[in-house]
């Protein structure tokens, strides 16, 4: 066993370290989201107010991705990843105060810190993959897609485990103890990361100027716009509308809601990790538009089934499982394209800009999820989802083969 570990290349060791950090962070992030949604729904908060708890989380995600790519290029990706882990620990500890102190504004501030932490961690992990894929590989592009797919897919599978964990921890230990347990686990991961990550990973050869944070590549700009609408389409029903709908319409308890959401995301993550089998090992950039077109049909069919009350529970569950599979392929394909398009020197600048658009899509989707569901219900959320996916497809069809 020790000989096997000793024989692993430095690139693989760093990849494993980064993936481990990303996994641990994602587990706490998914559990925290489910804990907050279910706990505050239990306290009687409206869907819109629950959505507002995540407002700063998403707003600061936009800002962090924009500035985080610049920081990663100047400081190194090891520093931005470790800063993200430390900030998540602080955000978790902020939520361990007495229940009377958990006001809406206070929770929003804690979620803001968590949002910064999450996007620093994700930007660092995705950027590092570009630098760690062996340069002497004859199928570098294929290898890059495989590494990105595995990282992204495994992360989302663990996020699903986190959703389930959040529901279980809330039921078993209560909100405060659940948060404390996660903070201790992440602290141990952070200590290991401080020791194990290389100090110069991702640092640009020349210090990029702050004015260079906006991408000048038309391919990256188009892909970023497509990503914005793609993730807005998911979160417009997924973040608040769906868990509240399951709890109120189907009368599911925390275990069932958390379990279904977990199963959905785990399956979604698994499909992401094997996406190259569906799209091919070296997919054309324009294929992102074609796959988005397939995805757009799904929310339309679910919305029609809801409107006509056609086996509602069956239609929701099966429809969302199909949506999850198609969305996973779209997401994995996008993740590969941005890393492929990004420049190797200062890769975090391009990746950060792209994930800024991703965070903006989540922000729009999150706000609409609470507001539209409260006023018009899940059916309208699904129609908006279909509209957003159609916009993503149209934009992606204009992508060229290489970044300009």
The mean per-residue pLDDT over the stretch 33-62 comes to: 82
Averaging pLDDT over each range in 65-69, 94-98, 166-170, which range is the top one? 94-98
pLDDT at 2 over 70: no
When comparing pLDDT for 267 and 61, which is higher?
267
Q: What single DSSP character describes residue 253?
A: -
- CA dist 356 and 130 (Å) reads 18
Sequence-distant (≥ 6) Cβ neighbours of residue 317 within 8 angstroms: 260
pLDDT value of position 388: 97
Report the pLDDT value the prediction gives residue 22, as an integer from 0 to 100: 81
Exposure class string for 188-219: b at 16+ Cβ within 10 A, else e: ebbeebeeebbeebbbbeeebeeeebebebeb
Give the ranges where 76-174 is alpha helix by DSSP (H): 77-94, 104-132, 140-172
- Does any domain span residue 146? yes
Question: Taking the model in full, what pTM does it have?
Answer: 0.73
DSSP state at residue 81: H
Q: Is there a domain that residue 122 lies in?
A: yes
* SS3 state of residue 131: helix
Give the up-direction half-sphere exposure of residue 164: CA atoms within 13 A in the CB hemisphere: 13
User: Helix %, strand %, coil % for the chain, to 5?
Assistant: 80, 0, 20
| Overall domain count for the chain | 1
Rounded to an integer, the average pLDDT of 22-30 is: 86
Residue 307, domain member (yes or no)? yes
Q: How many CB atoms lie within 10 A of CB 401?
A: 8
| 341 in a structural domain | yes
Core vs surface per residue 26-58: b (16+ CB within 10 A) or e = bbbbbbbbbbbbbbbbeeebebbbbbbbbbbbb
Give Cα 115 distance to the centre of its chain.
11
* 403 domain residue, yes or no: no
Residues 6+ apart with CB under 8 A from 22: 121, 122, 125, 151, 155
pLDDT digits (tens, 9 = 90+) for 331-370: 989 988 887 776 655 565 677 777 788 888 988 998 898 8
- Is residue 402 situated within a structural domain? no
**Structural domain contains residue 337:** yes
For residue 208, pLDDT over 60 is answered with no
- pLDDT higher for 378 or 127? 378
Residue 11 CA, chain-centre distance (Å), reads: 24
Identify the pLDDT of residue 403: 47
User: Can you tell me the mean pLDDT for 3-15?
Assistant: 60
Burial group, residue 271, by CB count within 10 angstroms (0-12, 13-18, 19+): buried
Q: Which segment of 71-80, 221-230, 363-372 scores lowest on mean pLDDT?
A: 71-80
For residue 397, pLDDT over 60 is answered with yes
Is the pLDDT confidence value at 17 over 50? yes
pLDDT above 60 (res 215): no
User: Residue 336: phi, psi to the nearest 5?
Assistant: -65, -45
pLDDT of 207 reads 58
Residue 297's CATH number:
1.20.1250.20
Looking at the domain assignment, is residue 309 inside a domain?
Answer: yes
- Domain with 378, as residue range(s), is 9-199+211-396
Q: Are the C-beta atoms of 401 and 285 separated by less than 8 Å?
A: yes
């Amino acid at each position: 066993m020790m000989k096997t570990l000793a024989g692993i290349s430095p690139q693989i060791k760093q990849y494993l370290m980064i993936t481990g950090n990303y996994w641990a962070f994602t587990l706490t992030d998914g559990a925290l989201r489910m804990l907050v949604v279910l706990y505050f729904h239990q306290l009687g908060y409206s869907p819109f107010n629950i959505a507002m708890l995540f407002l700063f989380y998403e707003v600061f995600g936009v800002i962090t991705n924009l500035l985080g790519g610049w920081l990663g290029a100047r400081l190194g990706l090891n520093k931005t990843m470790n800063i993200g882990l430390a900030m998540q620990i602080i955000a978790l500890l902020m939520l361990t105060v007495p229940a009377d102190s958990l006001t809406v504004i206070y929770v929003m501030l804690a979620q803001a810190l968590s949002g910064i932490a999450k996007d620093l961690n994700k930007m660092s992990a995705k950027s590092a993959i570009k630098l760690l894929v062996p340069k002497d590989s004859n199928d570098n592009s294929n290898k890059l897609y495989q590494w990105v797919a595995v990282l992204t897919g495994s992360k989302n599978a663990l996020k699903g485990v986190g959703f389930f964990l959040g529901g279980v921890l809330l039921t078993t230990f209560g909100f405060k103890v659940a948060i404390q347990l996660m903070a201790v686990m992440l602290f141990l991961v952070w200590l290991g990361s401080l020791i194990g990550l290389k100090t110069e990973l991702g640092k640009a050869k020349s210090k990029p100027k702050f004015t260079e944070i906006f991408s000048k590549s038309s391919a990256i700009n188009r892909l970023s716009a497509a990503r914005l609408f793609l993730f807005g389409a998911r979160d417009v029903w997924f973040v608040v509308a769906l868990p509240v709908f399951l709890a109120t319409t189907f009368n599911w308890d925390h275990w069932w809601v958390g379990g279904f959401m977990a199963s959905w995301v785990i399956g979604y993550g698994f499909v992401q990790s094997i996406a190259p089998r569906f799209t091919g090992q070296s997919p054309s950039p324009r294929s992102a538009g074609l796959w988005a077109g397939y995805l757009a049909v799904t929310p339309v069919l679910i919305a029609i089934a809801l409107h006509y009350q056609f086996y509602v529970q069956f239609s929701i569950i099966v429809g969302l499982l199909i949506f999850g599979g198609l969305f996973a392929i779209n997401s994995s394909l996008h993740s590969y394209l941005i890393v492929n398009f990004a420049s190797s020197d200062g890769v975090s600048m391009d990746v950060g800009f792209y994930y800024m658009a991703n965070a903006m899509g989540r922000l729009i989707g999150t706000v609409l999820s609470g507001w539209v569901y409260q006023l018009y219900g899940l059916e309208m959320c699904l129609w908006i989802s279909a509209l957003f996916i159609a916009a993503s497809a149209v934009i992606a069809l204009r992508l060229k083969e290489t970044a300009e």
